[in-house]
A and B are shown apart, each in its own frame.
Chain A
């Protein structure tokens, strides 16, 4: 069974937000909500040394996910392939998982999505359920694509710079594993012990 993870090459990311838009389109995400967010990280230096590095942040799909640990009704769970998934039918909307996530990856549906257009957007993707009001949702690594035999999340497919690589972290010969090793890529906030599976290759000087 593969253990899916992702490498994001910060040297290649151009801040185009193509990943964000592809994700919203693929997963029927309503206005104002984002599963993938590209953050701006300034280097703290004054002009003319001032630089901003884009930092795309999907869900980290941690191997020791705090959100999985805290959910009282097992609505958030870890799949055998390492993806952290949500069973929306079980979610009670306590938001403990949102409080627990150290990466700000989760978002809460305060309103019925797309209610103003009859429950489905114009670009509706029938492969992904529209989540109901009152549940928490987040990036799924496009689990529906993986389950359909196409392990390529929409953000990976959409990136024009090929900054995102997705694959089996347990396969040492996979492109993602090789690049993580070659670029000495690191996950975010490693010291918290959450074992995130999104790795970042730093900008090469």
Chain B
């Protein structure tokens, strides 16, 4: 049967349109500067940074699960290894576009080599995710060439990076004494658990898409465990946080998004599905709901962490996302999806997914 042209897939078109919207926003910022952003000196990091943290977490999480599946022969994971590797790559490329778009002078990244500050958590994050990109590209190449031994060795590297990368990203926030909500040992661990949850949710979605029924139960189990750990860690984090910060999302202006999207949709609903017979029919919904909740978590964490002035006596300019920022975030999310779908045509042959 003749394969349909890529552009006849409405999802591809929709995602390409989103990516194009993001590109328009990016060009506008290049021309006019970051006055198009709603960020302020009190809230220097905007929702593009949230999008980066989400996509980078997705890349690391999916990398972990695909690599663990290959390295340790986890049943149920192998059938979506190829798609997972491509998804991780797509997410990581989109993540790099997101964070690059937030830099006002991206050409200066040569400084990461010529004037590197090894004390900087951001430097270590850049190097770790660069290494992750190299490993993912190498894995994809090894898969396409049938180089099984190399694939397996890279899988071990992927397991390690899948854990280290989110911890390093979490430490970027957790090391800031000026930001009490983030300045805790729980922050890097939270980033890790969230990455594993996002990764498992993405894998579950890929398994549903591929019709790999035998994969749904083992992957769903891992997702359920990750969600329980996430809920427990969130409770520990909140109980150890200064009330003036936690009230921002427990009862303040972020409360609606926190309780409805992050907790109810992102944790409670997927858990309800995964631990009941509903999992057989609604695994895709559980995956999607987790991803929505996780993205919300990223936005809330970023805004709440910058939600109060660093000193109570200082005036505070709050943040409000602009249309440009929303377009750019939609753009990078669309880019990730587009790269995955378009890449699937060339990387994953249509008959490669097992349908058991």
**A-side interface residues toward B, CB under 8 Å?**
37, 39-41, 55, 66, 69-75, 90-96, 98-104, 106-108, 110-112, 133-135, 188-189, 192-194
Contacts and interface: CB of A to CB of B under 8 A. Distances in A.
B109 interface: yes
Nearest to A37: B314
Number of chain B interface residues as a range: 35 or more
Nearest to B40: A108
A73 B41 contact: no
Contacts of A74: 111, 115-117
What secondary structure prevails in chain B residues at the interface with A? loop
27 contacts: A69-B119, A69-B120, A70-B176, A72-B123, A73-B109, A90-B111, A91-B108, A92-B104, A93-B34, A94-B102, A94-B122, A95-B45, A96-B120, A96-B122, A98-B44, A99-B179, A103-B310, A103-B311, A104-B311, A106-B41, A107-B41, A110-B34, A111-B33, A112-B33, A134-B104, A192-B178, A194-B177
For B41, B122, B123, B172, the residue with the greatest tally of chain A CB atoms inside 10 Å of its CB is: B41
What secondary structure prevails in chain A residues at the interface with B? loop
Interface string B282-323: 000000000000000000000000100111011100000000
Given A66-B177, A133-B104, A189-B311, A104 B117 contact: no
Interface string B54-86: 000000000000000000000000000000000
Contacts, number: 122
Nearest to B306: A99
B103 A92 contact: yes
A134 B34 contact: yes
Given A72-B122, A96-B122, A104-B309, A66 B176 contact: yes
B116 A110 contact: no
Contacts of A94: 102-103, 122
Contacts of A72: 111-112, 116-117, 120, 122-123, 126
A110 B35 contact: yes
A164 to B, nearest CB: 19
Contacts of A112: 33
Contacts of A111: 33, 35
B32 to A, nearest CB: 8
